[in-house]
Chains A and B, each alone.
Chain A
Amino acid sequence: MEWFLQQLINGLALGSIYALIALGYTMVYGVLRFINFAHSDVLMLGAFSAYYVAPAIEKVLPLPSVLGALVIILISTLICAGIGMLIEFLAYRPLRNRPKLTVLITAIGVSLFIEFTCQHKSVFGADTKPFPQLLPATDFHVLGLIISSNDLLVVFITAILLTALWFIVQRTKMGTAMRAVSFNQQAAALMGVNINKIISFTFGLGSALAAIAGILYALKAPGIEPLMGVQPGLRAFVAAVLGGIGNLPGAALGGLLLGLLETFAGGISGLSNYRDGIAFAILILILLFKPAGLLGKATIEKV
């Protein structure tokens, strides 16, 4: 029982990170209908921004501290939001009305470009760098279970950001415009929505989420390198599809489910070596019965 509860905690903590990354994928998909492969690299850039910003902040504010961490997260988030908007402006905007597959390959190109550039010795270099401890960390021992403050933080932040995102999309003017663009780009433009602005904003927001996810991921596993985003990125992509891509609560649900499944599979001797495959096997099973994901709406094609 204790083993089960501990794995549940581990799984929720891992799943929350997947969920947070999946939110970014799903948001861009909701508006633009394409998978932004470079999302996982923005996550990595988020962690590296914090890595390079931290020493500068440490001169003004003490680290590890809550205030210092907040400032660092805020600055890194802004940097990544800017990078995300820049990627959209330079690489995706010129292809706006082209077939989606063209944009997809461009996204793969952008992703490879960021990865190889960052691996170059004159940028970050390929070696793993120690990520600084931004926040005071403790482990809570409750009834024989161990909960680290970092894991609690991840779950907490994911919940807050999901709520905030839902609020932005459903309750603000910007969100209404986002939904309009998602529903029908031409019609939205005719209604006076500035499409470029909305798409830029969506990318900014998505990249900000990726940056936060990257920093939280780095706090959990404090070794960062230019390819750190690839693996969680792929998992989060799976999670987003699992929940029904384009659907915010679906992404969160998919992330949590995937995190739990991986954790329980990983904890069983003889099954842990199949851990990478198990997530996919279950995804396929679920999609066979719910072809549009858990919370996605099946669209009926009209003649």
Chain B
Amino acid sequence: MKSADGAKRWLLVGIALAVVASYFTPQFNRYYLGIAIDCGINIILAVSLNLINGHTGQFSLGHAGFMAVGGYTAAKFSLVFEAMVPDSLKPLLFVAALTLGGLIAALAGLGVGVPSLRLKGDYLAIVTLGFGEIIRVVVQNMESVGAASGLKNIPKWTTLGWTFALAAITIYAVASLVNSTYGRGFIAVSDDEVAASSMGINPVRYKVTAFVTGAFFAGIAGGLYAHHKQFLSPTGFDFLKSIDIVVMVILGGMGRTAGVVIAAIILTLLPEFLRQFADYRMIIYSLLIIGLMMARPQGLFTLSFKKKGAASV
């Protein structure tokens, strides 16, 4: 299992890097630090969506919704318990908040995964999009989390170390899940559902597992985001945010973890590099997306943990 070794190595390197990086954090320029954390959060989002859209071949347009559920849950939890906990236990509280956010998001994933059993392709896309929008509308009307004016004063606990350690864990979890004997089922479902089920693989279970796992990590990413930006508002989780993540996955090459990670980094940095073009920035950004799809439709990178031909979309 060469690929599993690869994943483990990534995990170790990632965590080591994260620990080293957080040691130097105070010396970092805050702008670059913020962008680096954004990169890490987007990696988690893209890799987790890749499990649903890439490996399992579903088409979800509601990832921002899971992120919102996780983010709001974690933020509210921290805000309620922050004052009751001594400083030394704050990291524990942060872990608890992130986990809770992930779990509640996973629950939402279950809610989306179940209807997905009956739906395919565009119908599934629109249902997940709908779920994402419903979550946004509900949050927009919940006074307990600030409704339209947003949730503010969230403690700033997200650090570079936390973000990249969690990103490494996400990559590791998704990669080992897919590469396990059990996990070959995801790819089988993605390649041919009918053939898979005739081989004794239960597509229903795999699809739900993909949605629940993907949503869990999206929830974690939401929690990190909340404690990074210190402010949440419902408008940040509309379907354009979901589309941003989908673009990362497709650009990275559906089902290719390394490619998706690099695509997430590139698509986070690109708008920042384009700042100097001021009001032409987003025009150039959209042209680049079109150009990339024409030049590299299979995704930017063909690097993969998988053996060749394991999955293609």
| A binding-site residues for B, Cβ under 8 Å | 29, 35, 91, 94-95, 98-99, 101-102, 105-106, 108-110, 112-113, 116-117, 120-121, 234, 237-238, 241, 245, 273-274, 276-277, 280-281, 283-284, 287-288, 291-293, 301-303
Contacts and interface: CB of A to CB of B under 8 A. Distances in A.
Contact of A238 (B126, B283, B289, B293): B126
Interface string B190-230: 00011100100000000000000000000000000000000
A287 B119 contact: yes
Contact of B293 (A106, A113, A284, A303): A106
Nearest to B294: A94
Nearest to B118: A291
A108 to B, nearest CB: 6
Contacts of A35: 122
13 contacts: A95-B297, A106-B290, A106-B293, A106-B294, A109-B286, A109-B289, A109-B293, A113-B287, A113-B290, A116-B286, A277-B137, A287-B126, A291-B118
B134 A102 contact: no
Given A117-B283, A287-B126, 6 more contacts: A95-B297, A101-B313, A238-B130, A280-B129, A280-B133, A302-B194
A70 B267 CA distance: 45
B115 interface: yes
Nearest to B299: A102
Interface stretch (B8-16, B33-41, B172-180, B243-251): B243-251
Contact of B115 (A98, A112, A284, A303): A284
A288 B283 contact: no
B123 A241 contact: yes
Given A106-B294, A108-B247, A116 B282 contact: yes
A104 to B, nearest CB: 8
Contact of B130 (A245, A274, A283): A283
Contact of A280 (B134, B283, B297): B134
A120 B283 contact: yes
Interface string B95-139: 000000000000000000001001110110011011101101110
Contacts of B250: 101-102, 105
Interface string B134-150: 10111011000000000
B122 A245 contact: yes
Contacts of A95: 293-294, 297
A105 B285 contact: no
Interface of B: 59, 115, 118-120, 122-123, 126-127, 129-131, 133-134, 136-138, 140-141, 193-195, 198, 239, 243, 246-247, 250-251, 254, 279-280, 282-283, 285-287, 289-290, 293-294, 297, 313
Contacts of B290: 91, 106, 109-110, 113
B195 A288 contact: no
A18 B292 CA distance: 33
A245 B121 CA distance: 11
A120 B123 contact: no
Nearest to A112: B286
B290 to A, nearest CB: 4
A277 B137 CA distance: 6
Nearest to B290: A109
A132 B282 CA distance: 30
Contacts of A288: 115, 118
A105 B289 contact: yes
Contacts of B195: 303
Contacts of A292: 123
A112 B131 contact: no
A299 to B, nearest CB: 9
A281 B120 CA distance: 18
A113 B297 contact: no
Nearest to B193: A301
A121 B141 CA distance: 35
